[in-house]
Chain A
Amino acid sequence: MEEESSLVYELQVDESAQASLRDTAKWTRFLAITSYVLMGLMVFFLVFMFMFKGAVSEAFNRSPELSKMGDMGTNVLLSIVAFIIVIALAIFAFITYILMRFSTQTAKGIDRQDQVALETGIASLKTYMIINGVFAIIGLIGGLFQLITIL
């Protein structure tokens, strides 16, 4: 059985690879948990902003440019900020979920020698890399625009 399988799959996730992956899972778990905490802070900020909406519009009114917009303007501005925060939160939450799934599934796969869990973990790593790649593309386009405006 063992010989047969090693003929089909020449590469193994051997002890050295398992040790690396287990450690990676530990660090990605830390990153994911910290991200969840940051998201919690963002939600707190959002709630805080709406609870003290009056104070925020007052602060806006004190600024000469923003006060020109009036109450309607501040409401629109607040809604836009809230909308951006909610969208950012949703994207952030999805990325964090994928990273957490990589962490838990990979650790489970190694600890229980579960091939399916390990495959799910690596598939999550792939998704994580793809999402980050898309953001890297957007980031580079943003950087290019910045450069164009400066030159």
Chain B
Amino acid sequence: MNDISMPEAKLEVSPKLRSDLQEAATWARIIAILALSSSALSLIVSFKRGMIFFSLLSAAISVFIYLYLLKFSSQAKKGLQNNDQQMLNDGFRNLNTYFKILGVILIIVISICVLAFIFLIVGAMIKF
């Protein structure tokens, strides 16, 4: 049963999927380049204003995140243009890594917020 239904149910890069993926990759490149430029700008601003440490940290995180988005963009595009399955798969893997890093950063931020909230409450309780 499974053997018969599998070939028919195979997922393919249809023309619609191809064009959507191509456009997603194009915009992913735009996002990555603009976001990297923005963090470079904020780095310059922070050199003038101080708070260099936080700017350096956020710039480093941005480079780390958007490099994967840039990789997804170039690999997905190349994969689609040259009909290179391996390249396309690498692109999807980098897209996965990009969202994974975003998720992990979100977990870290939430944890810090929760910890800060707990410390605030404990601090207030000790005061009274």
Q: Which positions in B face A, CB cutoff 8 Å?
A: 6-18, 20-21, 23-24, 27-28, 30-31, 34-35, 37-38, 41-42, 44-45, 48-49, 79-80, 83, 85, 88-89, 92-93, 95-96, 99-100, 102-103, 106, 110
Contacts and interface: CB of A to CB of B under 8 A. Distances in A.
B20 A27 contact: no
A113 interface: yes
Nearest to A118: B11
Query: For the complex, would chain B's binding face be called helix, strand, loop or mixed by DSSP majority?
Result: helix
Contacts of B23: 126, 129-130
Contact of B103 (A30, A119, A125, A139): A30
Nearest to B48: A150
Contact of A150 (B37, B49, B88): B49
Interface residues of A, number: 46
A58 interface: no
Given A28-B99, A31-B99, A133-B34, 10 more contacts: A6-B12, A20-B95, A30-B103, A113-B6, A118-B11, A126-B27, A143-B38, A146-B41, A146-B42, A150-B49
B95 A144 contact: no
Contacts of A17: 88-89, 92
A21 B45 contact: no
Interface of A: 1-2, 5-6, 9-14, 16-18, 20-21, 23-24, 27-28, 30-31, 34, 109-110, 113, 115, 118-119, 122-123, 125-126, 128-130, 132-133, 136-137, 139-140, 143-144, 146-147, 150
Contact of B79 (A11, A21, A128, A147): A11
A132 B17 CA distance: 20
B103 A136 contact: no
